[in-house]
Amino acid sequence: MEASGSWDAIDWNQIEDPRSRRSSQGMEEFLLEDEEVYAQGHGVVLLNTDEAGIVSVTNFRLLFVSQATKSIIELGTIPLSTIEKLNDDVKLQSLPRQYDKKQPRELLQVIGKDMRVIVFAFRPRTKQKNEVFDALRRYTKPSQLWELYAFSCDPSTVDKKSDPKMRLMKEYHRLLSEGSEFEVEKYYFRNNWRLTTVNSSYSLCSTYPSQLIVPKSISDEDLWQASTFRAGRRLPIISWCNPVSGAVLARSSQPLVGLMMNFRNNADEKLVSALCTQNVDANLPPRKLYIVDARPRANALANGAKGGGSESSSNYPKSEVLFLGIQNIHTMRDSLSRLRDYVDAHGSISSNGSSSAVSLVGDRRNRGSTWGGGSLNSMTQFSSMLGEWLNHIQNILVGASWIAAQIAQESASVLVHCSDGWDRTTQLIALACLLLDPYYRTFDGFQALVEKDWLAFGHPFAERLGIPTVSENGGSQYELLRQPSVGNLTSSPSRGSLGTPGSSSNTSVQSQTSNNSSPILLQWLDCIAQLLRLYPAAFQFSSKFLVDFMDCVLSCRFGNFLCNSEREREQSGITSSCHCMWTYLADLRASGGSFHEHINPFYDRERYWLPLVPPAAALAPTLWPQFYLRWTCPPESQGGGLESHGHSMRKKYEASVKSKEMAESRSRDIKMKMESMLTDLQRERRASSSALAMAQRARRENVAIKRAIQTIGCTVNFSTNENQVDKSEEMSYSFRREADTVSQQDDNADLSVSISAIEDSLVSETPSNQVCESLCPFRSREGCRWPHAACAQLGSQFVGLKANFDAFDRLSVKDCYFPKE
């Protein structure tokens, strides 16, 4: 393979030492607002694509600009917060053929949380790699929250009106009042719930929102007592309610029942029982309450040894306890890591620099049984890894679908919890709401759902993403340890310090993640992508929107997903200091109009305005190619999907619409020109008609004059050649004729008019003289006395002709005009 950016194509002697220049020189056109360059490496090769360029470490990202095209390479450009691990001791098992194996090379591997594994090859015998690596180690793991790029913007440019607490109140209002999807006259159960401000100072539960929806029959004092019986004081709270059926979807953490499961709390039992209201119709059976524990039963029993556990249906009337068997955060993290490594090793674009790494490093005996970059043995291994990850996705899908089915079909109430109530619980609650309420399947509803169940109810984004947050006393420290799922349940849910992780490490591998990082949000988005595949017309947003949404969260470019709770975000002043991700995504969609790639072209709200209850047989997930394969198999990640074909068709339709608009614009211009030409033509026609009328009038006058002249004994001859006129016998008058039409005559020819006198004998024999002799009343015995007397012929035959007798009197007829006898 010949590539302009290959290792051998670089002239190392012509590359200037980066220490002799400013690190941001020539990079201004590629930087975002308030983005600064900290370190640079020149002549660096991205082994994934074998392309040379400049790699820069900024306060926001690792930026790679191609040396050949002078443009940003997306694969080699990754936000610092998205980097999970750095490794400067890379041992590649295969290298591209054009590389000289004797050529020294310094490699740096970057592993991302977005399924990306990239390797940079630095110029040998320089300090460029060390400078870049040291900068990455320092800035990918900041010691303080406000060292993140999200805080680098000018506070005056932040929209202060974008308050998440006000948006949460708006969503509560939609659920409890006229903003709901249901008819107003059917709001029977609205009076069963109330909005309380008992947690306005976050003293009831530090990881819950300031306002909560609770049963109306439960007092604030009951809430205080019930909170002591739940881990982290996360008592049962209503997340969604159906005002028609009265069914509710509630969430909490595990109860503190102890090892023997014999601890009870009257306030907690009263609160849980209040979630199950009576049916309006007395003929219907009593409403049932399902208590869904997202954990495997064995894990729940293990937590009992630490003070936790699960409910007993005997303590909660009309209830049934079920376990979903969803694994913990550590299992999910390890499963995704194995899937990422395999996808990178066997994709068409690999960090090894080869698309067929398996055939080079796999079993030598099976090398002939390879296809598509993988062997039969490796494909079996991949099926195992993929099946492990998809099994986790399926468990979440099945659990959320079952919860939605009980609420939609049986009008039952459901209480969901896991250990802490902020990971698996959030996944199930948010996915069930998405299935139950069509509003959450729109752009505005998706935002409201995320801000309610993920942000307001305290999903620990800082811990799961591995970024700093604020401490209990308001100070800033890199806090990554929250109360573990199997830890001391009686302790405070606050996090402890890890010391000073911002300091440099001497190890060759540096991890950005902590022991509590996990792809919880990614799994939820994966489940939505599976539902999009099953119901392509039920969602207003597309799979591409989900990918970009996840990228925005991982990048920490915006303040919405920083910290671990609403309280911490309010304490750190994020709303007034950082830009809003929702505004960015909305502006992005507005820039593309109705054909933007975030918009689902198949969305049909009228068809899917009811809850979605997918059958269990349909919940067989597949790999989400738009996210997992976009870096290693770009063509396969976009091709073949219904959504991608739809966007392709919409782009073609958009192009045809633009062409139509341009054609219509040209048609309007042509029509205006035609109308203008028609107006000019009508003006010319009027002028022509006027000229024709004048010509006809002149013709009639000429005929009348000719006849008048003939009555005095003269003849009139017209000719265009002066030689045809007998000058000895005629009186001539010449004038220039102005031609208005094309003719074969010479334009310079003169029109000659000859008037000749004729004999009286000839005149008397003309029909006109005969008429005069027989009919003229002025006739006398001497004959015609004109012009000395009146002439009846001039007054009758030449009607409308007014003779100028003075002109005739002045006409001198000389004797020479007449021939001699």
Q: Which amino acid is at 446?
A: F
What three-state secondary structure class fits 717? Answer: strand
Phi, psi of 770 (to 5 degrees): -65, -35
Query: Residue 768 belongs to what H/E stretch?
Result: helix 767-775
**Angle at alpha carbon of residue 699, lines to 696 and 701, rounded to 5°:** 110
The residues with which 111 forms a beta bridge, in sequence order, are 85, 117
| Tokens standing for residue 763 | 């005149």
Sheet holding 83-87, edge to edge: 78-79, 61-66, 51-58, 37-46, 117-122, 106-112, 83-87, 509-511
Query: Residue 757 belongs to what H/E stretch?
Result: strand 751-757
Nearest to 603 by CA among 642, 630, 640: 642
State the virtual CA torsion across 628, 630, 633, 636 in degrees, nearest 10: 90
> In whole angstroms, what is the distance from residue 92 CA to residue 75 CA?
19
Contact 725, 752 (CB under 8 A): yes
> Which of 153, 205, 418, 772 is labelled catalytic?
418
Nearest to 417 by CA among 316, 515, 309, 277: 309
For the chain, the first-to-last Cα distance in angstroms comes to: 120
Q: Which amino acid is at 96?
A: P
* Neighbour count for residue 666 (Cβ, 10 Å): 10
Burial 730-768 (b: 16+ CB within 10 A, else e): bbeeeeeeeeeeeeeeeeeeeebbbbbbeeeeebeeeee
Helix axes 376-410, 424-436, angle to 10 degrees: 60
Contact 548, 582 (CB under 8 A): no
Rg (CA), the chain: 48
Sheet holding 237-241, edge to edge: 193-196, 212-215, 237-241, 248-251, 413-417, 289-293, 319-323
Query: Residue 73 belongs to what H/E stretch?
Result: none
| Tokens standing for residue 430 | 């948010």
Q: Which residue has the tokens 């203008």?
A: 676
Q: What is the DSSP letter of 295?
A: S
Pairing of strands 248-251, 413-417: parallel
Nearest to 83 by CA among 57, 65, 104: 57
> In whole angstroms, what is the distance from residue 729 CA to residue 515 CA?
132
Length of the chain: 821
> In whole angstroms, what is the distance from residue 77 CA to residue 61 CA?
7
Contact 209, 199 (CB under 8 A): yes
Q: What is the DSSP letter of 509?
A: E
| Tokens standing for residue 607 | 């068809």
Burial 416-437 (b: 16+ CB within 10 A, else e): bbbbbbbbbbbbbbbbbbbbbb
241 is catalytic: no
Contact 551, 522 (CB under 8 A): no
Active site residues: 418
